[in-house]
Amino acid sequence: MAKDKKRSRHENPQPFLADDKSIASTNTRSKAPKHHQNQQKMISSVMSSKILKEALIQQREIEDEDTERNPNKLVFDETEDKLTKREEEEEEDPDAFNGFSETESQFGNYEEEIDEDDEKLLEAFLSKDAGPQLTLADLIIKKIKENDDNVHSESRPLPKLDNSVIDVYKGVGKTLNKYTAGKLPKAFKHIPSMQLWEDVLYLTEPENWSPNAMYQATRIFASNLGAQKAERFYRLVLLPRVRNDIRKNKRLHFALYQALKKAVYKPGAFNKGILLALCKSGTCSLREAVIIGSIIEKVTIPSLHSSAALLKLAEMEYCGTTSYFIKLLLEKKYSLPHRVLDGVVAHFMRFIDDTRIMPVIWHQSLLAFVQRYKNDLLKEDKDNLRILLRRQKHKLVTPEITRELDNSRNRGQKEDDLMSTSSPVSVINKTIEEDRFDIPDVPMEED
């Protein structure tokens, strides 16, 4: 009987009918439409045209107000956040570069931070025998003349390349001389992948590129070259251009400043090609140190690269502005290896017998070192630094350095050991040993 009922059960051939309103589910309840669903009605074409007209009128009013405020159409209120956002968009699309305005080029003025007296004092530490800055053109011309004796009369000889390649990249160079914004020539983007990339780059005359072209070139080479090749581009192309611009204009063009920031994309190449090369030249001025040092302050550099750069700066021949870069790297508060700390101590101890008056920045860099790494120094290092402070003094900075050294523990010493050595009982014992107090003999009472 049960089997018959099961066989006679009615089955619906179309169980799911989406548009059938007569079939109502017993498990679902009717819900009231949401607020945003009630408002989703089509706008008529007449109403939409009115809205567009009002929006256009409002946009024109805003543009007229901006024109009245700024008739030259210069942007004065562009903030760092807007610049960062635009740079991120350009990273996604390398050809979407809109250029830098002349107002932005004024942001590189650092005259307020530079004291003329300090600048003159630091000039005494500059190298007198330093030659001119070596550029890519100097290097290529020298190589060409060594390989061919018939090119001595030419001012700018050409490397031995195919004539079609020479013609193409000479044309690319003319384009880069006038470049302001937009797409770069495709031939230029292929240079990093070439074997003779330096010879081809020489044909474009990098010393004559516009600042915006230098920024674009730095973006391309920093992304597509290896660390060693990028270091050569920074040292032979970017650094000479930056120094010439600072020397001529007493400030750095904004596009070149942004190019330096892009160069930190390869931190090892930046340290070798920009920072260390600038200090090794022996002619780094205070203005150059302040401008390039601001890049080190603003941009995060891996601690390993910073430690290596700090050690190299401490070991190289001293230039007055070297102390400025040492101070900046110390103030980044990285955890430095003991080898680097010992190298910095040895750097300062080199001046124990120096009869010259050390600049203020030298004392400030020593103060920054002691403040941040006083607990990681050996007792012998602190004793040597105290001897140094007796010979190299500054009326304001030296007392602070001495105070930091006196209120610190030695390398490997724990805080408990420092507290025990500075406890009142230990201080009294120490003063007794040094005969600071005269203790009278008190007779004992007899029973």
- The DSSP string of 224-259 is HS-HHHHHHHIIIIIHHHHHHHHHHHSS--HHHHHH
37 occurs within a structural domain: no
Which residues of the chain are under the pLDDT cut of 50? 16-26, 28, 36, 39-41, 70-83, 86, 89-90, 106-112, 421-447
* Amino acid identity, position 181: A
Residues 149, 271, single domain; the answer is: yes
Nearest Cα neighbor of 188 from 180, 203, 397, 178 is 203
Backbone phi and psi for residue 58, each to the nearest 5 degrees, phi listed first: -65, -40
Crossing angle of the two packed helices 397-406 and 379-391, in degrees rounded to 10: 160
Residues 283, 379, single domain; the answer is: no
Residues 255, 371, single domain; the answer is: no
| Rounded Cα–Cα distance for residues 376 and 335 (Å) | 10
182 occurs within a structural domain: yes
Q: What is the largest CA-CA distance in the chain?
A: 128
Among 301, 318, 347, give the residue marking a domain's end: 301
Q: Could you tell me if 143 and 150 are in contact, meaning their C-beta atoms sit under 8 angstroms apart?
A: no
Contacts of 201 (CB under 8 A, 6+ apart): 136, 191, 233, 237
Region of residue 44 (left: phi > 0; alpha: psi -120 to 50; beta: else): beta
Percentages helix, strand, coil for the chain (3-state, rounded to 5) are 60, 0, 40
Residue 97's pLDDT is what?
A: 73
| Rounded Cα–Cα distance for residues 183 and 408 (Å) | 58
Residues 107, 221, single domain; the answer is: yes
Residues 224, 291, single domain; the answer is: yes
Among 301, 326, 354, give the residue marking a domain's end: 301
* Amino acid identity, position 425: V
Residue 111's pLDDT is what?
A: 46
6 occurs within a structural domain: no
Residue 16 has what DSSP assignment? -
443 occurs within a structural domain: no
Residues 155, 252, single domain; the answer is: yes
| Rounded Cα–Cα distance for residues 20 and 338 (Å) | 81
Residues 284, 403, single domain; the answer is: no
329 occurs within a structural domain: yes
Among 301, 326, 358, give the residue marking a domain's end: 301
Residues 278, 357, single domain; the answer is: no
Residues 318, 283, single domain; the answer is: no
Nearest Cα neighbor of 248 from 117, 108, 405 is 108
Residues 110, 209, single domain; the answer is: yes
| Overall number of domains in the chain | 2
145 occurs within a structural domain: yes
The domain in which residue 238 lies consists of: 76-119+130-301
Residues 282, 328, single domain; the answer is: no
Backbone phi and psi for residue 433, each to the nearest 5 degrees, phi listed first: -65, -35
420 occurs within a structural domain: yes
Nearest Cα neighbor of 262 from 227, 216, 297 is 216
Nearest Cα neighbor of 324 from 106, 108, 121 is 121
Residues 224, 272, single domain; the answer is: yes
